[in-house]
Each structure stands twice: as structure tokens, then as C-alpha cells.
Amino acid sequence: MQQKLSFDHLLSSNQISKDDISIIFDLSQKYHNEFGQSKAQKDRKSLHDCQDYILATLFFEPSTRTRFSFESAMQKLNGKIISLEQGLFSSIKKGESLEDMGRVFSKYSDLVVIRHPEMDSAKKFSKYSSIPVINGGDGANEHPTQSLTDLYTIKQTKNRLDNLVIGIVGDLKYSRTAYSLIKLLSLYPNNEFILISQEIARLKDSHKEKLLNNNINLRETINIEDEIANLDVLYVVRTQKERFASEDEYKKVNGKYLINNNLLKKAKKDLTIMHPLPRLDEIDTEIDSDQRSKYFFQAEMAVFVRMALINLMKDHKVEF
């Protein structure tokens, strides 16, 4: 008997409890074991877990990993996919509301992943949807399935989700993955967050207030050199060029940090270095072969976590 998650739609990492995480990760681990190491069909007992189900992937913003890892996940479980890659060419362009689209897609598929540049877009889409909706990124707000992938990666590399010193570096103002990750990791005891960014790229006050109200141990700085030696996890994010008001403002933030061999000389031997990707120039390719660099492993883990989520959510019937 499959265990039940506490949410129907997945719109924000606020909805995810520790119990949900353990249900999702147990199944992710099962898929990881079956599909990760061997390509032999005989080793894959779960091949038909999503047979006859349809996943709709609706992307109104560019995506490589999120869309393809969801689609790869569904294909591995023998489900079907309908996909909108350039959402702005759809009837949204004619002025159709997200709410109406949500209503309609409930009749076309069993589960929807949506990415859209507006905050709360997935929530609007879900308003009249009778099938589960997954937020694949709503503007600079949230990206809950990326943070589940990030947590699963940390669990695999550090063997724990508590008692960690986590440095998050880069454009924290617009990074939805950073915000969702902090919320999820703060469910576990004794985690300390060091937010490293230029002053103008700090976490938004509204986001920070919400975190501080939950007594999160969080500190802000602009200097990575002074912090690197104490970190267990270093989470790097790119500058979100598309969300800046002007090129000048973007230039004030971009290119201020570089993770390279020189910086890592001071770091712990068992540091885990992560990045949700795409990487631009914030991580030097010279560290790709360093055994502490886990960003490509992290991208691989996304498939197993999304396989688990799809299977756990696919039968939810949503009341509205």
C-alpha cells in the first residue's frame, strides 16, 4: 500500500513535511537503485508504475533540467507526456488566464508541471484544477522539486540532513532554488545558513522575514574567503540576468564570486559543492574533477526524486 503525501498540489516547499520527505526519499532510493546502476530491464521491477498516466509539462520560461528530468522520469515509468515548451505561443498569448488553462488541462492529463515567470502562477493554475499541479518554478519565488532534489543529494553525500553549515553564494535576491532550499533544510535541527552575496543581491526582505519568524539560524555576509573553511555544503547559484531591471544593475551583481581550486584549498575535505545549473561563470570548470563537486550528480538525482513524486502524486484527486 503506497503511503500518502500530506499535499495534493505541490506549490511551495512550505507544504512539505519531514514525513513527506521520508516517503519521497524512500521511493527515490528504490528508483535510484533500480534505474541508476543498471540498464538491465530485469532489474527494473517498477517499469510500469505510471503506465497509462499522462504528465503535462507546461513551460512558459526556458528549462532544460527541470523539464527533461520530469519527462525522463515519466518515460522511465512508462507513462506518457504532453508538452508545451514555448508556452508564450499558446493561447496565453491570446489572453487566456492561467485559471482557465488549469481547468482545461485537468481533462487532458493526470498531472501537470508548470513553470512561469510570475510569482504564484502555479497557484493560480491550480485554482480550478482537479488534478495535481507541481510548481516547476514561479518567477523568483519557489522551486520546491529542485529543493527536494537538493536535499536528496545532500542526504546521499553527507548521510544526514541536520547539523550542517550551509553556505549559499550568488544572486540570492532572485534565486528561487536558494529560498526553497533554506526552508526545507530548516526542518532539520542545528542547520546554520550563511548567505553570501553582494548587498544588492541579498535575499528579499519579505523572504527573510518569513525565515526569521521561524527561528532559522541565518547570517549574511559578502565575503566567501572567511567562511569557506567552515562549510559542509556550498550551494552556488547563477546571477538571474533575466530578472534584473537593467544591464547596469546586473553587472553590479554578476562575476563577484568564483569557485576555483585556489578557494577550495581552504575548504573541508568532505565539502559538498552544489549548483542547480545552468552554471555560467561562477564555478571554474577546473574544479569539475574535484571529488567534492556534486552538481552533475545532483542533476542526475533529479530524475529519481521526480519519478518518486510523479508516482506518489499521480492518483491524487483534488477538490476545489
**Residues making contact with ligand NCD (CB under 6 A):** 65-66, 137, 143, 146, 176-177, 237-238, 240, 276-277
Annotated catalytic, 66? yes
* Nearest to ligand NCD of 28, 146 (CB atom): 146
CB of 42 to ligand NCD, least distance (A): 32
Annotated catalytic, 202? no
CB of 178 to ligand NCD, least distance (A): 9
CB of 276 to ligand NCD, least distance (A): 4
* Nearest to ligand NCD of 137, 167 (CB atom): 137
Write out the three cell numbers for 153: 543529494
Q: Which of 66, 149, 153, 157 is catalytic?
A: 66
Annotated catalytic, 143? yes
CB of 143 to ligand NCD, least distance (A): 5
Q: What is the DSSP string of 111-145?
A: EEEEEESSTTHHHHHHTT-SS-EEEEEETTS--HH
CB of 12 to ligand NCD, least distance (A): 14
Annotated catalytic, 44? no
Distance CA 44, CA 33 (A): 9
Smallest Cα–Cα separation from 172: which of 200, 137, 139, 144?
Answer: 200
CB of 142 to ligand NCD, least distance (A): 9
Going from the C-alpha of 79 to that of each of 47, 205, 311, the distances in angstroms are: 10, 42, 10
Query: What are residue 169's DSSP bridge partners?
Result: 196, 236
Going from the C-alpha of 261 to that of each of 63, 189, 269, the distances in angstroms are: 29, 31, 13
3-state helix, strand, coil in the chain (%, to 5): 40, 15, 45
Three-point CA angle 152, 82, 87, nearest 5°? 90
Distance CA 14, CA 10 (A): 9
* Nearest to ligand NCD of 149, 191 (CB atom): 149
SS3 41: helix
Annotated catalytic, 94? yes
* Nearest to ligand NCD of 65, 155 (CB atom): 65
Residue matched to cell numbers 554578476: 254
Going from the C-alpha of 78 to that of each of 46, 146, 204, 271, the distances in angstroms are: 9, 23, 41, 37
* Order of strands across the sheet that contains 80-84: 80-84, 54-59, 111-116, 133-138
Q: Which of 94, 107, 269, 317 is catalytic?
A: 94
* Nearest to ligand NCD of 66, 129 (CB atom): 66
* Nearest to ligand NCD of 13, 146 (CB atom): 146
List active site positions. Answer: 65-66, 94, 115, 143
